[in-house]
């Protein structure tokens, strides 16, 4: 592993978690034709301190210039690259229920590089249906499909009971990462990526703060 790669690997998860927020605000600025921005101005927008921002971006090579600030487009492109948004990932959705459909219909999805190939469900009444021209297929055919099409990502909208077993089958077939909406901690090998979306837990947190 090269030195620069090593450095990258050591970036804390907390910093990584802040990058999407930079990305969102930079996209906004670009849309408004803002060409450059100081770390101070950026700080007011995103709510992190200017020194925090400089530190964060230094982690990735630092693109600011003393007395000029950041070139918005350059920074946007860099953050986009850091996030891997210039890459394409072959993606399937497991479960064609309400959540699976909502995700399939979600526009921001493919612009982030996730190319949706198919949805899978075991309910016969759903099989063959098309959502945005993408077919709902029989879960029974999932393994062959993943192998033949080199599917890399699975979005899990399955119930808790089946999510772990299906995840294992998908990994066996070649899936490298999961966007997991199932309310379960998937147990996977170290080289498999899981990004959880915990809607339930978010709702409980809201409930907690409302009560206080």
Out of 59, 112, 162, 164, point to the residue binding a second copy (CB under 8 A). Answer: 112
Site string for a second copy, 73-92 (x = CB under 8 A): ---------xxxx-x-x---
Distance CA 20, CA 140 (A): 36
Stretch that binds a second copy, among 68-76, 96-104, 115-123, 139-147 (CB under 8 A): 96-104
Q: Does 34 bind a second copy (CB under 8 A)?
A: no
Nearer to a second copy, 26 or 68 (CB): 26
Burial 69-93 (b: 16+ CB within 10 A, else e): bbbbeebbbbbbebbebeeeebbbb
Distance CA 130, CA 133 (A): 5
CB of 204 to a second copy, least distance (A): 4
Q: Count of residues binding a second copy (CB under 8 A)?
A: 53
- Using the rule CB under 8 A, is 49 a contact of a second copy? no
Strand ranges of the sheet holding 89-94, from the earlier edge strand across to the other edge: 130-131, 134-138, 114-121, 89-94, 153-156, 177-180, 193-196
Two structure tokens written together for 112? 């982030």
Which residues, 147 to 206, sit near a second copy by CB under 8 A? 152-153, 176-177, 179, 183, 185, 193, 195, 197-206
Binding site for a second copy (CB under 8 A): 8-9, 16-17, 19-21, 23-24, 47, 82-85, 87, 89, 97-99, 101-102, 105-106, 108-109, 112-114, 152-153, 176-177, 179, 183, 185, 193, 195, 197-212
């Amino acid at each position: 592993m090269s030195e620069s790669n090593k450095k990258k690997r050591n970036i804390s998860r907390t910093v990584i978690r802040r990058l999407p927020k930079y990305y969102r605000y930079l996209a906004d600025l670009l849309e408004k034709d803002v060409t450059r921005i100081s770390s101070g101005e950026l700080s007011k927008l995103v709510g992190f301190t200017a020194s925090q921002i400089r530190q964060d971006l230094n982690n990735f090579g630092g693109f600011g210039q003393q007395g000029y600030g950041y070139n918005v487009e350059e920074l946007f492109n860099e953050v986009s690259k850091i996030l891997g948004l210039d890459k394409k990932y072959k993606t399937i959705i497991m479960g064609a229920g309400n959540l699976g459909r909502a995700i399939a219909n979600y526009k921001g999805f493919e612009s982030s590089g996730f190319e949706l190939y198919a949805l899978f469900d075991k309910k016969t009444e759903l099989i063959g249906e098309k959502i945005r021209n993408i077919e709902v297929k029989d879960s029974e055919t999932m393994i062959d499909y993943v192998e033949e099409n080199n599917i890399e990502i699975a979005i899990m909208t399955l119930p808790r009971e089946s999510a772990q077993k299906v995840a294992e089958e998908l990994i066996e077939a070649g899936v490298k990462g999961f966007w997991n909406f199932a309310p379960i901690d998937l147990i996977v090998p170290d080289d498999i990526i899981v990004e959880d979306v915990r809607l339930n837990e978010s709702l409980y947190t809201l409930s907690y703060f409302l009560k206080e």
